[in-house]
């Protein structure tokens, strides 16, 4: 790679990533990628990065004294630059998006607990004590008990996106959410199993829904889940402005 190309590539890449980051912050969508507690640092440093890139672009070119690199090294550097340029460009061109049900499936829904809700505490309280439970709380309770008596007369209302159940994709799906600790790469999928025969004829994967119902015996033959949410009502909704939950 020539010296002038080397001189510009880093500045252009920092400027592109910084500009994209600043735009996400301005449009209120930075939360699609990083947790709110990191937003201030990320935004300030992206602004500094953009200004520093512009100021460095104005500096007179330094003489190129670098030793000639071996051919494989130049090839590697050229490939890296090409891929970097493509990724940076897509960052500026493609619409911002959330993670999808594909990642929820790969990460195994409810493989980790993200709530401190305790079944022992809830069992001794009135059934109305769980009215305000979030999807996160319910997912945690599901990991703790499959005793049907525990769930009777407890209404569940929650929103989330649809992820097909891997064991019985025709009759079961999860109403699911991602919980983010630092950034989207650490997203953990949580969800509640829902039994609805032939759900694919009415809804589709990744669709956002508002669901109301009660937990009961799971009628699916293929699923290993003992209980499932039996929906009274499911309504399609728009994706919320904050699609992730934050740990």
Are residues 171 and 196 in contact, defined by beta-carbon separation less than 8 angstroms?
Answer: yes
217 counts as binding other proteins under rule CB under 8 A: no
95 counts as binding other proteins under rule CB under 8 A: yes
* Cα–Cα distance, 22 to 45 (Å, whole number): 10
Identify which range of 103-111, 116-124, 139-147, 226-234 contacts other proteins by CB under 8 A: 103-111
Nearer CB in complex with other proteins: 55/126: 55
Contact status: 127 vs other proteins (CB under 8 A): no
Q: Which stretch binds other proteins (CB under 8 A): 80-88, 138-146, 194-202, 208-216?
A: 80-88
Q: Does 97 bind other proteins (CB under 8 A)?
A: yes
User: Any idea of the CA torsion for 223, 227, 232, 238, to the nearest 10 degrees?
Assistant: -60
Q: Which of 176, 121, 129, 120 is nearest to 154 (CA)?
A: 129
Name the minimum Å distance from CB 23 to other proteins.
Answer: 5
Contact present, 114 and 168 (Cβ < 8 Å): no
Count of positions on this chain that bind other proteins (CB under 8 A): 90
Provide the minimum distance between the beta carbon of 219 and other proteins in the complex, in angstroms, as a whole number: 26
Residues 4-23 that bind other proteins (CB under 8 A): 4, 6-11, 13-23
Rounded to the nearest 10 degrees, the angle between the axes of helix 3-26 and helix 36-58 is 140
Q: Of 10 and 236, which CB lies nearer to other proteins in the complex structure? A: 10
Position among 28, 36, 71, 76 found at the interface with other proteins (CB under 8 A): 76
Q: Shortest approach of other proteins to residue 103 CB, angstroms?
A: 5
- Distance in angstroms (rounded) separating the CA atoms of residues 178 and 139: 12
| 40 token code pair | 């201030």
Q: Is 63 strand, coil or helix?
A: coil
CB of 51 to other proteins, least distance (A): 10
By the rule CB under 8 A, 107 interacts with other proteins: yes
Q: Is 128 in the site for other proteins (CB under 8 A)?
A: no
Report how far residue 33's alpha carbon sits from residue 49's, in angstroms, rounded to the nearest whole number.
18
Q: What are 138's two structure tokens? A: 């319910």
Binding positions for other proteins, 153-182, rule CB under 8 A: 181-182
Which residue among 28, 36, 42, 167 contacts other proteins (CB under 8 A)?
Answer: 42
If the CB atoms of residues 2 and 124 are measured against other proteins, the closer one turns out to be: 2
62: DSSP letter: P
- Phi first, then psi, for residue 137 (nearest 5°) are -65, -45
């Amino acid at each position: 790679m020539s010296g002038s190309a080397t001189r510009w590539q880093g500045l252009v890449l920092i400027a592109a990533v910084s500009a994209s980051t600043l735009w996400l912050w301005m449009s209120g969508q930075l939360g699609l990628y990083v947790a709110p507690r990191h937003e201030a640092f990320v935004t300030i440093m992206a602004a500094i990065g953009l200004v520093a890139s512009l100021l460095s672009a104005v500096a007179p070119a330094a003489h190129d004294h670098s030793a000639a690199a071996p051919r494989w090294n130049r090839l590697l550097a050229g490939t890296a630059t090409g891929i970097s340029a493509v990724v940076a460009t897509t960052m500026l061109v493609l619409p911002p998006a959330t993670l999808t049900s594909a990642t929820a499936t790969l990460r195994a829904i409810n493989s980790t607990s993200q709530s401190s809700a305790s079944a022992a505490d809830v069992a001794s309280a009135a059934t109305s004590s769980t009215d305000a439970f979030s999807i996160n709380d319910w997912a945690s309770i599901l990991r703790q008990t499959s005793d049907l008596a525990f769930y009777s007369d407890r209404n569940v209302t929650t929103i989330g996106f649809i992820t097909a159940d891997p064991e019985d994709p025709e009759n079961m799906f999860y109403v699911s959410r991602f919980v983010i600790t630092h950034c989207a790469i650490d997203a953990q999928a949580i969800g509640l199993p829902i039994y609805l025969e032939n759900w694919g004829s009415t809804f589709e994967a990744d669709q956002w829904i508002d669901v109301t119902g009660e937990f009961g015996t799971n009628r699916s033959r293929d699923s290993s889940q003992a209980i499932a949410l039996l929906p009274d009502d499911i309504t399609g909704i728009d994706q919320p402005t904050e699609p992730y939950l934050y740990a």
